[in-house]
Amino acid sequence: MVTEKVEIMETLIRDWEGEYVVSRFDRKTGTMMFIAIHSTVLGVPSGGTRLKSYAHPSEALRDAMRLAHGMTQKFAVIDFPRGGAKAVLSVPEDFDPDDREGLMLRYGQWLADLRGVFETGPDLGTSPADMALIARHFSGVFGLPVDAGGAGDSGPDTALGVFCGIQASCEHYFGSADLAGRTVLVQGAGAVGEPLIRLLLEAGCEVKFSDIDPVRVAKVGQELGLQFVEPEAVYREPCDILAPCAGGGILNAETIPQLACHIVAGAANNQLDKPEDGERLCQRNVLYAPDYVINAGGAIFLLTVEGSGWAVTRARERVRKIGDTMKEIYAHSEEHGISPARAAERIAIERLRRGVSAKQWNR
């Protein structure tokens, strides 16, 4: 069994089309740390640091590699001069919150030892406070708290980009970007899901939500009085738009046949379990907004505000343009008779082939 798992990890790395993986074991906490460097073609490999418990380190490695690929595509589609990478800290199930500070400091020291081959920011399970700890040893970290001179939580800006992407998706599918009266089911009311819910309510949507965390269910249910959908009923719940804002791999052979929505457009990374799931959605006439395009708002916000000194208002204007990028992808998809997932992939591949463009981001 153990040998089998080791072989899985070797096969994963061998079969991956990314550049390389580095790992380190944090003995004090029993945390396996992986950094997957997918591509250095467009610039310094960059991506968030995810903290999560996995059944086996091979799953953490797989997550890091898939997420890193998504980062390469994310930066390529928006022509942003960064490479794609991601880090995963696979903490044990019984991880003691008191050990968190030490883990973040040691992780920051490791990144410093790696001398900037990877730059990072927050992701699922990590926060601006964690980034401040990493920053004590390593300067290539984004998403620091506002009182530490950073841009703070990027969740609301990721949500803004998703909101604009939902408008563009509705324009394409229904012929109108007006969201008033549309039913949206938001899966996951966390750092991105909750601000997205607020934007959707302001726009006059009828919002339902789901979450696996009872604390968030109670909070959002009470504060906003929304209809709650049981996690296992999410895929078959009728709605205009399903907005996945939690874990990945949720669009698969089992869930896609159940879908009772017209559009899937949300913030979660790696929503498609397998590449063919993009085609499956198309065959079911469900419009899919490629995740790494619609969820680029957080990366755009942090890397322009903290990385390039842009004013927040300017960065936010750029985040809103995600709507235009989505429209380009849908147009490409129609023109070539391919799924939006394939269209986004083709655009990303073409940008990578051409290399760095300095046009858009006046560095």
Binding site for ligand PPY (CB under 6 A): 46-48, 120-121, 123, 142-143, 269, 298-299, 302-303
- The phi, psi pair for 182, rounded to 5°, reads -75, 145
What totals of helices (H) and strands (E) does the chain contain, helices first?
A: 13, 11
| Contact criterion met (CB below 8 Å) for 304 and 326 | no
- Output b/e per residue, 144-178; b: 16+ Cβ within 10 A: bbeeeebbbbbbbbbbbbbbbbbbbbbbbbeeebe
Comparing CB distances to ligand PPY, the nearer of 240 and 345 is 345
Closest Cα to residue 43, out of 74, 13, 66, 64? 74
Residue 61: C-alpha distances to residues 48, 72, 138, 347 (Å): 14, 17, 23, 27
- The phi, psi pair for 19, rounded to 5°, reads -80, -60
Comparing CB distances to ligand PPY, the nearer of 57 and 155 is 155
SS3 291: helix
Comparing CB distances to ligand PPY, the nearer of 47 and 128 is 47
Comparing CB distances to ligand PPY, the nearer of 161 and 182 is 161
Rounded (10°) CA dihedral 39, 41, 47, 52: 0
Closest Cα to residue 243, out of 136, 170, 151, 351? 170
Q: How far is the CB of 1 from ligand PPY (least distance, A)?
A: 33
Q: How far is the CB of 288 from ligand PPY (least distance, A)?
A: 18
Q: How far is the CB of 133 from ligand PPY (least distance, A)?
A: 15
Q: How far is the CB of 269 from ligand PPY (least distance, A)?
A: 5
Comparing CB distances to ligand PPY, the nearer of 58 and 120 is 120
Determine how many CB atoms are found less than 10 A away from the CB of residue 342: 19
Closest Cα to residue 158, out of 330, 348, 315, 306? 315
Comparing CB distances to ligand PPY, the nearer of 80 and 235 is 80
At 193, the amino acid letter reads G
Which residues neighbour 169 within 8 Å (Cβ) at sequence distance 6 or greater?
241, 263, 265, 287, 289, 326, 330
Q: How far is the CB of 128 from ligand PPY (least distance, A)?
A: 11
Comparing CB distances to ligand PPY, the nearer of 47 and 156 is 47
Residue reference for tokens 């879908």: 259
Q: How far is the CB of 244 from ligand PPY (least distance, A)?
A: 14
Active site residues: 86
Q: Which residue is nearest to ligand PPY (CB)?
A: 121
Question: How many whole angstroms from its chain centre is CA 115?
Answer: 25
Q: In whole angstroms, what is the distance from residue 72 CA to residue 47 CA?
A: 9
Q: How far is the CB of 32 from ligand PPY (least distance, A)?
A: 19
For the chain, the farthest-separated pair of C-alpha atoms sits apart, in whole angstroms, at 56
